Amino acid sequence: MTTVDEFARIALGDLPASLENPAMADWLQSALDELAKSPECGYLPKQKAATEPSALTALALLGHGRQEEAQPVLDYLARAQQADGSVGVREAEATPGWPTSLAVIAWQLFDSTNHRARIDRAMKWISSMHGEKLERSPEMGHNTQLDGWPWAAGTHSWLEPTAFALLAYRAAGQQSHPRAAEAIRLLIDRQLPDGGCNYGNTTVLGQTLRPHVQPTGIAMLALAGESDPSGRMERSLTWLQWSLNARTTATSLSWALHGLYAHGREVRQAEVHLASACERVQQHDQSPHKFALLALAALGQQSPLLRGGRPSSLPSQSDSTS
C-alpha cells in the first residue's frame, strides 16, 4: 500500500515524470496552479465546494508533490463527514453519501494514521450500505441479486458507486472484505458482452445497450489485478483503448487512462489527448473537477488512484504514457 511517505518522497525532490515532459508541462502546471488556489472546489469555478471534486483535487495535488496545498481539503472532508461516517455530496448536503469512498481514499493516502477514526467510521458506513436487490427478470440482463452500492439509499446497485467502494476497500487495506469480493463479481457481471460498460445495465428488454468511456474506465480501474475467465474484462479494455481519440472529453479520458494503466495497457498519444481535453476545459468551463482528473491521469502509473487502489500482489509497471 502506498503511504504518505512515498508521496513525500515525490515532494522532496522527485518530480513526477509528467511535469518533466514538455508535452504536458505547460497545461499541467497551469491546471495545478489553478487547483492549488482553491482546493476546496465545486464542479465549476465559483460553485459551492463539493466533496467529489475536492477529494480529486487533493489527490491530484498530492500526486504532484503539492500536498501542503491540499491540506484544506482534508479538513473540508472531515467537516462534511456525518455522525454515521458518510460523506455527503456537499458539506451542507448530507445525502446521498456516494462520495464517502473518495473521501476514504484521500484520507488514507494523505495521512491514514491521523485520519484512522474517520476512515474506520466511513468504512463502517460503506459496509452497511446496500443497493436494493431486484427479482431476477428476463427483461434485465445483469444479475440483479448481486450486492453492490447505489448512488442514493433505497435504490439499485450501479456501476460507479460500486467501483468507488471497491477502491475504498483496497485503499483501506480491506480488499479481503466479503463485500469487496461481491463488488468484483458485480463489476464483471455489468460488462457488456462485446466489451465496455455503461452506468450499469447490460441488456434491457432483450437489447444490448451501448458502452460509454467513463464508466468503463472507472470499472477497469477498480478491477485492477482481477481476472475474468469469461473474457469480458479483456474485451472492455480493448474497447476502451479503441475508443479514445482527440475528441474524448476530460473526465472520460482521465478515467479511461486510469483504467487502462491499471491493467498495464499502453495508450498511444495519451499526452496529446490530455492536452486536447485540457484545452477544451480551459476554453469552456474551467472545471476544477476536470482539471483534477486530467492532472491525475497525467501522472500515469504514479497516480494516487492507481497506487492506492492496486492490490499489493500486482507488480508495479512502467509508465506507458510515452
Residues found near another protein in the complex (CB under 8 A)? 42-44, 47-48, 50, 89-90, 93, 95-96, 98, 132, 150-152, 154-156, 158, 160, 198-199, 204-205, 207, 209-210, 212-215, 247-252, 280, 284-285, 289-290
Nearer to another protein, 52 or 69 (CB): 52
Do the beta carbons of residue 24 and residue 295 sit within 8 Å? Answer: no
Min separation Cβ 286 and another protein, Å: 12
Nearer to another protein, 207 or 312 (CB): 207
Rounded CA-CA distance 221/239 in Å is: 14
Min separation Cβ 80 and another protein, Å: 14
Nearer to another protein, 121 or 289 (CB): 289
Query: Phi and psi for 304 in degrees, rounded to 5?
Result: -55, -30
Q: Which three cell numbers stand for residue 156?
A: 439499485
> Is residue 171 classed as helix, strand or coil in its secondary structure?
helix
Bridge partners, 203 (sequence order): 208
Nearer to another protein, 89 or 172 (CB): 89
Q: Is the C-alpha dihedral spanning 151, 104, 182, 218 positive or negative?
A: positive
CA dihedral 129, 62, 57, 59 (to 10 degrees): -20
Min separation Cβ 43 and another protein, Å: 4
Min separation Cβ 276 and another protein, Å: 11
Nearer to another protein, 30 or 155 (CB): 155
Q: What is the secondary structure of 42-66 as a DSSP string? A: -SSTTSPP-HHHHHHHHHHHHHTT-
- 184 phi-psi bin (left φ>0, alpha ψ -120 to 50, beta other): alpha
Bridge partners, 87 (sequence order): 81
Nearer to another protein, 162 or 302 (CB): 162
Nearer to another protein, 50 or 222 (CB): 50
Nearer to another protein, 114 or 155 (CB): 155
Min separation Cβ 42 and another protein, Å: 8
Nearer to another protein, 64 or 290 (CB): 290
Do the beta carbons of residue 103 and residue 77 sit within 8 Å? Answer: yes
Min separation Cβ 260 and another protein, Å: 16
Q: Which three cell numbers stand for residue 231?
A: 473474457
State the DSSP code for 42.
Answer: -
Min separation Cβ 167 and another protein, Å: 16
Rounded CA-CA distance 283/303 in Å is: 25
By CB neighbour count within 10 A (0-12 exposed, 13-18 middle, 19+ buried), where does 142 fall? Answer: buried
Min separation Cβ 226 and another protein, Å: 23
Which residues, at least 6 apart from 178, have a Cβ–Cβ distance to it below 8 Å? Answer: none
- The residue whose grid cell reads 509528467 is 18
State the DSSP code for 197.
Answer: B
Min separation Cβ 64 and another protein, Å: 23
